[in-house]
């Protein structure tokens, strides 16, 4: 089994757009996403219990090097004992018994309750629907996500999607195959309206880039407030107003019960017939059949999709051959240095964990992200 234990030595290594089920003033969800009473107990335990002995950490990833390097660079090497484990392997009984903090892309049901000392789990992705779906997710476990670590790659890839929709490069490439010289007038982005549903970290960076190209940016946010480069921010219940105004609609919504099937035939009908729908959030937010009909009947100009209900997208799925729909194989977030970005957040949280301080990017369990 490809497992090794690594004792680090001192001289060595979006979303924001879900309508709350109750008024915000009534549901002040604490940083760790637990109920107020349980949260107070958990956070008080973390604050009052800094780790004095070496903390046992389990890195359950096939690429642990960036995380080990980050731990050493942060000067935390003499405070932790790290086990590394490839994703194909399962933690040993000893590892389960001693692990106090876990970093993983996900875990199978039945694993977390068998880790009696586990107090904190760091997800390696921004989305945590897999974790939230666990039937035995310990109530007192602090779960953090990698929110914000895609802030360099995803906004650039979203801008590429905007250019794909506006500029005739794809048409020229097709014409080249038959040696056809055809002038097609490019559509400017300047002066167009970009509507962003989900003005979180990624959405705000897209707004900055889009505004640099002269686009007017509007959008929705669960708790509306001033955001740089955004002309108008509306609450989720006013989504239709954003759809009606936008030339491009960008979905950056998390996967929650409130966002499931959020973009349906009724909402697609609110969009301009010249507008594009771009989804880099979660596949469950769109009713697939409704989108196929809208694109085919020219009720919208088209759609660029990077996320789907099932991934990889099955070969028999109608999206592959649907008119006006572009399928991207979930390439929005990956970056050559992605592990380095996640490691930076992990180590910042690790230091907080060791010092008994509240962690960053704690999942709000009530909201689902």
Which of the 8 DSSP states describes residue 301?
Answer: S
Closest alpha carbon to 164 in 271, 336, 302: 302
Q: 279 vs 1, 101, 161, 162, CA distance in Å?
A: 40, 33, 10, 11
Three-state SS at 1: coil
Per-residue model confidence (pLDDT) at position 152 = 86
Instruction: Provide DSSP, 72-109.
Output: HHTT-GGGEEEEEE-TTS---HHHHHH-SEEEES---T
Closest alpha carbon to 273 in 324, 201, 239: 324
Q: Which helix (H) or strand (E) holds 202?
A: helix 201-212
The set of catalytic residues is: 282, 311, 330
For residue 186, how many other CB atoms are within 10 A of its CB?
A: 11
How remote is the C-alpha of 174 from its chain's centroid?
Answer: 34
Distance CA 206, CA 228 (A): 11
Closest alpha carbon to 198 in 221, 176, 177: 221
The residues near 256 (Cβ < 8 Å, ≥ 6 apart) are 18, 367, 368, 369
Distance CA 31, CA 362 (A): 6
Distance CA 188, CA 172 (A): 17
Do 60 and 103 form a contact (C-beta atoms < 8 A)? yes
Pairing of strands 3-6, 80-85: antiparallel
Per-residue model confidence (pLDDT) at position 319 = 99
Closest alpha carbon to 210 in 194, 223, 196, 233: 194
Structure token digits, residue 295: 């694109």
E strands, the chain, are 3-6, 55-60, 80-85, 101-104, 120-123, 142-144, 193-197, 216-220, 232-234, 248-251, 276-279, 302-305, 325-327
pLDDT in tens, the chain (369 residues): 444 443 333 333 343 443 333 333 333 334 444 444 344 434 444 544 676 689 999 999 999 999 999 999 999 999 999 999 999 999 999 999 999 999 999 999 999 999 999 999 999 999 999 999 999 999 999 999 999 998 889 999 999 999 999 999 999 999 999 999 999 999 999 999 999 999 999 999 999 999 999 999 999 999 888 999 999 999 999 999 999 999 999 999 999 999 999 999 999 999 999 999 999 999 999 999 999 999 999 999 999 999 999 999 999 999 999 999 999 999 999 999 999 999 999 999 999 999 999 999 999 999 889
CATH topology of domain 3-149+336-355: Rossmann fold (3.40.50)
For residue 87, how many other CB atoms are within 10 A of its CB?
A: 13
Per-residue model confidence (pLDDT) at position 78 = 97
- Fold matches, 3-149+336-355 and 153-327: yes
At residue 326's C-alpha, the angle toward residues 311 and 160, to 5°, is 100
Per-residue model confidence (pLDDT) at position 61 = 98
CATH number of 153-327: 3.40.50.720
Domain ranges, ordered by start, for the chain: 3-149+336-355, 153-327
The residues near 240 (Cβ < 8 Å, ≥ 6 apart) are 267, 270
The residues near 45 (Cβ < 8 Å, ≥ 6 apart) are 119
Closest alpha carbon to 350 in 12, 10, 46, 129: 46
Distance CA 351, CA 59 (A): 15
Per-residue model confidence (pLDDT) at position 51 = 67
Distance CA 363, CA 257 (A): 16
Q: Which residue is associated with the tokens 């740089």?
A: 228
């Amino acid at each position: 089994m490809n497992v090794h234990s690594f004792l680090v030595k001192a001289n060595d290594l979006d979303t924001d757009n879900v309508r709350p089920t109750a008024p915000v003033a009534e549901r002040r969800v604490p940083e760790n996403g637990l109920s107020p009473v349980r949260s107070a107990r958990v956070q008080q335990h973390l604050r009052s219990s800094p780790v004095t002995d070496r903390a046992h950490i389990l890195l359950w990833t096939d690429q642990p090097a960036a995380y080990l390097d980050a731990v050493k660079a942060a000067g935390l090497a003499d405070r932790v004992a790290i086990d590394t484990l490839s994703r194909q392997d399962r933690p040993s009984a000893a590892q389960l018994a001693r692990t106090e903090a876990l970093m993983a892309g996900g875990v199978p049901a039945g694993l977390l309750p068998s880790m009696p000392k586990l107090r904190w789990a760091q997800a390696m992705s921004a989305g945590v629907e897999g974790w939230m779906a666990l039937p035995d997710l310990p109530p007192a476990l602090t779960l953090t996500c990698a929110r914000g670590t895609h802030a360099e790659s995803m906004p650039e890839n979203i801008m590429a999607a905007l250019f794909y929709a506006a500029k005739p490069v794809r048409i020229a490439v097709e014409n080249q195959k038959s040696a056809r010289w055809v002038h097609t007038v490019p559509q400017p982005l300047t002066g167009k309206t970009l509507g962003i549903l989900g003005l979180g970290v990624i959405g705000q960076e897209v707004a900055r880039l889009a505004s640099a190209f002269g686009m007017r940016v509007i959008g929705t946010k669960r708790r509306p407030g001033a955001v740089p480069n955004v002309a108008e921010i509306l609450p989720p219940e006013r989504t239709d107003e954003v759809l009606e105004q936008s030339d491009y609609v960008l979905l950056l919504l998390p996967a929650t019960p409130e966002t499931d099937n959020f973009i349906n035939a009724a909402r697609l009908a609110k969009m301009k017939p010249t507008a594009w729908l771009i989804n880099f959030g979660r596949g469950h937010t769109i009713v697939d059949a409704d989108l196929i009909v809208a694109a085919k009947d020219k009720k919208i100009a088209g759609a660029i999709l990077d996320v789907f209900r099932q991934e990889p997208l099955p070969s028999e799925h109608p999206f592959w051959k649907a008119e006006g729909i572009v399928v991207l194989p979930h390439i929005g977030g990956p970056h050559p240095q992605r592990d380095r970005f996640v490691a930076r957040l992990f180590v910042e949280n690790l230091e907080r964990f060791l010092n008994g301080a509240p962690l960053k990017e704690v999942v709000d369990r009530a909201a689902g992200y």
